[in-house]
Amino acid sequence: MKILREIVSPLVAIVAAFIVGGIIILLIKDNPFETYRILLANSFGSAKDIGYTLFYATPLIFTGLAVAVAFRCGLFNIGAEGQLYVASFATAWVGIKFGGTVVDNVDWSWTSLPAFLLVPLCILTAAVAGGIWGAIPGILRAKFGSSEVINTIMLNFIGIALVSYLTQYHYKNPGPILETAPIGQAAFIPQLHEYLPFIPKDVPLNFAFLLAVLMCFVVYVFLWKTKWGYELRAVGQNASAAEYGGISPQKQIIVAMTFSGALAGLVAVNEVLGFRHNYYDGFSAELGFLGIAVALLGRNHPLGVFIAAIFFAILLRGEIFVDAFTRYVSKDIGLILQAIAILFVACLQKYSKR
What percentage of the chain reaches a pLDDT higher than 90?
86
Q: How many domains does the chain have?
A: 1
For residues 222-236, average pLDDT? 96
- Residue 348 predicted with pLDDT over 90: no
Q: What is the pLDDT of residues 30-81, one digit of tens each?
A: 999 999 999 999 999 999 999 999 999 999 999 999 999 999 999 999 999 9
For residues 67-96, average pLDDT? 97
For residues 309 and 294, the answer to whether their CB atoms sit within 8 Å is: yes
What percentage of the chain reaches a pLDDT higher than 70?
97
Q: What is the pLDDT of residues 189-211, one digit of tens each?
A: 999 999 999 999 999 999 999 99
For residues 289 and 81, the answer to whether their CB atoms sit within 8 Å is: yes
Using pLDDT thresholds of 50, 70 and 90, give the confidence band for residue 1. low
Q: What is the sign of the dihedral through the CA atoms of 208, 212, 217 and 220?
A: positive
- Residue 336 predicted with pLDDT over 60: yes
Instruction: Read off the pTM.
Output: 0.95
- What confidence score (pLDDT) does residue 352 get? 59
The residue type of 1 is M
For residues 287 and 81, the answer to whether their CB atoms sit within 8 Å is: yes
Query: Any bridge partners for residue 206, and if so which?
Result: 191
Residue 235 sits at φ, ψ, to 5 deg, of -65, -40
Longest dimension (CA), the chain: 68
Strand, coil or helix: 222: helix
- What confidence score (pLDDT) does residue 242 get? 94
Q: What is the CATH number of the domain that holds 109?
A: 1.10.3470
Q: Which helix (H) or strand (E) element contains residue 107? A: strand 106-107
Q: Which domain holds residue 185?
A: 2-352
Long-range contacts of 314-317 (CB under 8 A, 24+ apart): 314/39, 314/40, 314/43, 314/44, 314/53, 315/39, 316/56, 317/42, 317/43, 317/49, 317/52, 317/53, 317/56
Lowest average pLDDT, out of 67-81, 104-118, 173-187, 242-256, goes to: 104-118
For residues 323-332, average pLDDT? 92
> Half-sphere exposure of 92 toward its Cβ, with a 13 Å CA cutoff?
30
Please tell me which residue, 271 or 354, carries the higher pLDDT value. Answer: 271
- What confidence score (pLDDT) does residue 354 get? 46
Mean predicted lDDT score pLDDT of the chain: 93
How far apart are the C-alpha atoms of 181 and 168, rounded to whole Å? 11
How far apart are the C-alpha atoms of 105 and 116, rounded to whole Å? 26
Residue 18 sits at φ, ψ, to 5 deg, of -65, -35
E strand map for 178-286: none
How far apart are the C-alpha atoms of 223 and 46, rounded to whole Å? 36
For residues 12-27, average pLDDT? 93
Q: What is the pLDDT of residues 314-326, one digit of tens each?
A: 999 999 999 999 9
For residues 212-225, average pLDDT? 97
For residues 301-310, average pLDDT? 94
Q: What is the pLDDT of residues 114-167, one digit of tens each?
A: 999 999 999 999 999 999 999 999 999 999 999 999 999 999 999 999 999 999
Using pLDDT thresholds of 50, 70 and 90, give the confidence band for residue 353. low
Q: Count Cβ atoms below 10 Å from residue 114 Cβ, excluding itself.
A: 8
- What confidence score (pLDDT) does residue 174 get? 87
- What confidence score (pLDDT) does residue 259 get? 98
Q: Which of 132, 96, 171, 116 is nearest to 257 (CA)?
A: 132
- What confidence score (pLDDT) does residue 6 get? 66
- What confidence score (pLDDT) does residue 226 get? 96
Strand, coil or helix: 354: coil
